[in-house]
Amino acid sequence: MSPTPPEPEQPEPEQPEQPERQSEHPEQPSGPQQSEQPSGPQQSGRGLPDPRQPAPRLDEPPSRPDPRQPAPRPEPQQPPTEAAPAADARPAPDARPAPGTDARPAPGTDAPAAPAPPAPAGPPRPPRPEPGALQPLLPSDPSALAGYRLLGRLGAGGMGVVYLGRTGNGELAAVKVTHADQADQPDFRARFRREVEAARRVVSPWAVPVTGADPDAPEPWMATAFVPGPSLGEAVVAHGALPERSVRVLGGAVARALAAVHAAGLVHRDVKPGNVLLAVDGPRLIDFGIARATGETALTATDMVVGTPGFLAPEQAEARTDAIGPAADVFALGCLLAYAATGRPPFGTGAVDALMYRTVHDEPDLGGVPDGLLALLRACLAKDPAARPTAEEVAAGLVEDAPSGGADWLPAPVVRTIAERSARMLALPEIDATTAGTAPEGPAKPGRRSFLLLASGVAALAVGGGVAAWAGFGDDGDGKIGTKPVPPRTTWKIGVLADLSGPAKEIGLAQERGARLAVERFNARKDKPFTLELKVADDRGDRATALETARRLTTDPGVLAVLGPTSDGVAQTVLPAFEEAGLPLITVSAGYNLLTVRDKESAPNATVLRAIPHHPFAGMHLAYAVTLLSGIRRPGVLQERTDDQYSWLLVRGVQFAFGQAGLTPHFRVVPASARDYRSILGEMIDAGMDAYVHCGVRQTAVLAARALNELRFTGPRFAGQHTFGQAFLKEAGADAEGWFLGAPVLDAVTRKEAAGFVAAHRKRFGAAPAYYSGESYDVVTMAMAELARRAKSGGPTRKGLWAALRKGKYTGVMGGYTFDENGDLTNGGTFVHAVQNGAYKVIGPAPVAPANKAKQKA
């Protein structure tokens, strides 16, 4: 989600399997894919033009679309292996993304980070949870395992949960337990057993030792000594870069740990700030989950990138498996020490494939590294593995003595953090009378929910207006927790997690109103099987506090489904909490693709339903709309990096679609700080641009609209979801006239099927529904209908609801909804809106394939 210079060839994505009901049509071409992403655009009942009518014309007055009508599929076309941007464009390589990661901006286009938006006004926010705080056990968690009493949760990921455990003699341990469904997957136990064996083979005071393990248990587990200190990444984020002596001590200890790893015949392959814990007596290297014996490749695909982008060696970035050896760990150590010394990764941040490109081709940014460390770090970061020192040589070159028990090797703020966490551990309750290793009274632990491990490690989404299940929380629907009966519920809740007071409040308020109207309509039914309440949480669009806000919903046993959140960033932050709680979600506005797409190493999505196309598909639809215009041969595509992730994903879809249409766009990439759009767009016009596609946010689209009018550009202008909205019309004014915007929503007022909804909205709120309100109403109503149907056989329950909704077909006031195996809306879902006389006029559904190529060649 080819460029100049060329990158390693990316395998072509698979053609998607299509729903049986549409087998009479030939397959549609696959869209731009993430690594291991299984599906391309598919046909569905929402967002499709009537096949009996000609394709919508962007140069004619708009007409009302019928999004429920099916459309014939064109013959499949293979996605291009390369798409060539203009020679003067910044490179945007198709380097192979690591599994489960996203792809964003082009390499070589580093830009200053966009300034953070001002804090929204409102009541004081509740205090943020303390980093590293122990989370309480969930009702589904065991209280004991083998010889360990489990005291709480340290974290959760795609494979399982890490608990804090304590033995009968009071020793603390981190107990990693794998989900049973993961353990049943092919080769999983072999990988887990390999991790245990690798960790046991490493003997070093600077590597965390294994204290117990059982790879053959129904849920395999492994325990390691517990280190109460923060990770290096946490410490640098909280307190800034470390002084030179701290870096030397850190590097010496980690280098000695790696030397022990290499002496055991292993390569760690994931040396990064999150895998180094800081203790008073020195750092500890952890996580041998992807460690591998030197030369061993049996359980790794030859084209799979393994490691963490930004902290992996060039040979790892290029997936040259046979070249990955101890020198790769030394390169990663160099990245880690540069990060510790400067507070930033040496190859920047941002897109996964951009990071890998820079790792392979660019020199590291070592500005700010103390002079005494520069030569050693440059040697560690040599592109040629043979030119790097060994781990033993790195340790010798750092000369500082290893810590001898004192804390003077760390800055005082980091020492205080360690002391505070250690104090919390000392304050843990005493072991009760139940013998460790003996199961406490109560029911057997139910099967665990799957967790998604994203590249960031913290992403999560509360998506879903009602597409989720409504069942008991922490039980299997039998009304019991432990041995105590729970009174039957008569009132259940639909949750809304939305930005109601932050930068996207226009959308969030519309979503909340749509959900509220749906719940009130449900409760007004005389035959309703249960009563619903609406529980609303304002996330303010703030990722820093979003997780805490989301837990108000995920920890409430009465909440059965959640609509939201409004934005991509909040969605990524809160997703683990919703996955952990098993709370089904639907989003009508968050288009980040990895909310639903998983790689083969991660548990599949079983929580999120997305009622809009994800950003790469939306980019394809936007570009296909451009091809409807005759005479377009050289579209200009501008990627601006204010919202780096969104713009990159949109560009990938646009790039793919223009390749299918046989067009060669002129690409430009500009930093978030760029303001001279007249010069930028003037260069694109001089290069022959005859249509403009803006891949960026509203604020820069306004700058582009102004500049294009000043330059007297007469070609069509296009932008996507993050430009669409009333604010663009207001801020751009007359300069917005003639723009076409692709968005995943329709105006309910223009749809005769929505007349009843519009009337109810006017009566309830005194105004016509805004964009996103109708879609929110639909998905909440969709969930309630399924819950009511299932209640006939035993009451509302979450269990199995996501799967039932994913497989179902639903027609609401805004159109039809069907979903693929990932939980994504099938086919289309993008609508083209033209700006006419200061207002949006819907043209129709965007195409899901390019217009006739002959038109382009004429």
Instruction: Output the CA angle 342-107-328, nearest 5 degrees.
Output: 60
In the DSSP assignment, the letter for residue 795 is: S
Looking at residue 777, its pLDDT comes to 98
Residues catalogued as catalytic: 270
d(CA 587, CA 514): 13
Output the six-digit token pair for 776: 């929110």
H or E stretch covering 356: helix 352-361
Output the six-digit token pair for 146: 């083998």
Q: Name the 3-class secondary structure at 685.
A: helix
**E-state strands within 393-550:** 480-481, 484-485, 491-498, 531-538
Long-range contacts of 678-682 (CB under 8 A, 24+ apart): 678/707, 678/710, 678/711, 680/638, 680/707, 681/636, 681/638, 681/707, 681/708, 681/711, 681/713, 682/707, 682/711
Contact 344, 112 (CB under 8 A): no
d(CA 331, CA 152): 36
487-612+752-801: what CATH class? alpha beta
- Burial class of residue 771 (count of CB atoms within 10 Å of its CB; 0-12, 13-18, 19+): buried
Sequence ranges of the domains in the chain: 21-97+615-743+830-857, 144-426, 487-612+752-801
* Amino acid residing at 13: P
The residue with tokens 């999004």 is 67
Q: Minimal CA–CA distance to 436: which of 165, 152, 154?
A: 165
Q: Report the residue count for the chain.
A: 858
Q: How many CA atoms lie within 13 A of 583 on its CB side?
A: 35
d(CA 269, CA 625): 44
Q: Which CATH architecture has domain 21-97+615-743+830-857?
A: 3-Layer(aba) Sandwich (3.40)
Instruction: Output the CA angle 737-738-739, nearest 5 degrees.
Output: 95
The residue with tokens 């501008």 is 638
User: In which residue ranges of the chain is pLDDT below 70?
Assistant: 1-132, 157-159, 180-186, 288-306, 399-407, 425-491, 852-858
Q: Minimal CA–CA distance to 696: which of 624, 646, 623, 736?
A: 646
> Hey, which residues does 824 pair with through a beta bridge?
610
Looking at residue 374, its pLDDT comes to 95
Cα R_g (the chain), whole angstroms: 27
d(CA 780, CA 440): 40
Report residue 394 CA to chain centroid gap. Answer: 36
Contact 744, 831 (CB under 8 A): yes
Looking at residue 139, its pLDDT comes to 81
pTM reported for the whole predicted model = 0.54
> Hey, which residues does 144 pair with through a beta bridge?
149
Contact 575, 551 (CB under 8 A): no
Helices vs strands, H then E, count in the chain: 22, 26
Query: Which residues participate in the annotated binding site for ATP?
Result: 176
Output the six-digit token pair for 755: 């007349």
Output the six-digit token pair for 333: 């150590």
Looking at residue 372, its pLDDT comes to 93
The two beta strands, 831-836 and 839-845, are antiparallel
Assess whether the region 21-97+615-743+830-857 and the region 487-612+752-801 belong to the same CATH fold. yes
Task: Look up the CATH number of domain 144-426.
Answer: 1.10.510.10
